[in-house]
Amino acid sequence: MAGELTGALVAVLGGSGFVGSAVSARLAARGARVRVVARDPGVPPFPAEVVAADLTEPGAVAAAVAGADVVLPLVLFTGSGTWRVADGGAADAARVNVGIVAEAVDAARGTVVFAGSTSQVGPGAPERIEGTETDHPESEYDRQKCAAERLVLDAGGCSLRLPTVFGPSTGSPDRGVVTAMARRALSGEPLTVWGAGDVRRDLVFVEDVAEAFAAAVAHPDRLAGRAWLIGSGAGVEVRALFELVAATVAELTGRPAVPVRSVPPPPYATASDFRSLVADPAGFTLVTGWRPRVPLADAVARTVSHLLRSSVDGVPPGTPKHG
């Protein structure tokens, strides 16, 4: 697929975020002209047009997407520091998560490629989803994802529904569970799972997700009007995942592996937190040829290695300093 993006102007809204920075870098490597749009975009480590903008201001979205062949609205706001929309923050979150997408759809002259979530399907779906299931979103996060996605699909764009994404970042840090547990293990803290930890989750390395967006940009006509599942097609139990993180940290630091312990679920846990979910990406693979390339163990090792390299004065992230 190399060279298919040469010359295309792709506006990445939220291009300095965790996923957005990886996607922007991959698009640039594939020959696209990339416009990184963010409130504080910094200086990307790849060739790009950089636009500093508050996309909630009137006219900012239209200016950001002007002239773009493809628009990727990769913005996300929850107000909580996690994927959960903060209590009482639904309206503020929707202003970003739905409002900016609506303005991008209205202003875009070309294709819009949205970042959805496999969790949009809701708690009634089978453990292994194929993309034909009816959505029954349970959380405010998923309801907003569904609303924004519908705007994109009705306008002829497409959506990539992502599972748990993790890995190193050149932009905003990964705040997901894998990196959080890696930081805890590096600081010598035990890792905790809710209950037995036998819920299965689907995880994809951030570089593979970036390649999926590049594939979508290269095949807009064949993907138009649909939501497509991105996933590994194989789940891993949460306890086994955390044990892998602990073992990887031990191997790379030479320290004993921290324990993985079961704890009661917190009050804010929902039904979706206790059901397994694995995404079958066969449809997207058939159209684009994309498939995840980085095995889970390698992805975890690269994530932990990045955290170690990013540590200050040789102190692993999360380690308390004394004196």
pLDDT digits (tens, 9 = 90+) for 233-251: 999 999 999 999 999 999 9
pLDDT for 313 equals 36
pTM above 0.75, yes or no: yes
H/E segment holding residue 153:
helix 140-154
pLDDT tens for 271-311 read 778 899 999 999 999 999 999 999 999 999 999 999 999 87
**Residues 6 or more apart whose Cβ sits within 8 Å of residue 252:** 301, 304, 305, 308
Evaluate whether 61 touches 115 at the Cβ level (below 8 Å): no
Burial status of residue 7 (CB atoms within 10 A of its CB: 0-12, 13-18, 19 or more): exposed
Dihedral, CA of residue 14, residue 16, residue 18 and residue 23, to nearest 10: 80
- Helix pair angle (177-186, 296-309), 10° resolution: 50
d(CA 33, CA 249): 38
3-state DSSP assignment of residue 276: coil
pLDDT for 320 equals 35
User: In which residue ranges of the chain is pLDDT below 70?
Assistant: 1-4, 78-89, 312-323
pLDDT for 5 equals 82
Strand 200-201 relative to strand 236-237, pairing: antiparallel
pLDDT for 129 equals 97
Strand 33-38 relative to strand 9-13, pairing: parallel
- Helix pair angle (140-154, 99-107), 10° resolution: 10
d(CA 236, CA 239): 8
Q: Which residues, listed in sequence order, are joined to residue 71 by a DSSP beta bridge? A: 11, 112
Evaluate whether 251 touches 304 at the Cβ level (below 8 Å): no
pLDDT for 271 equals 78
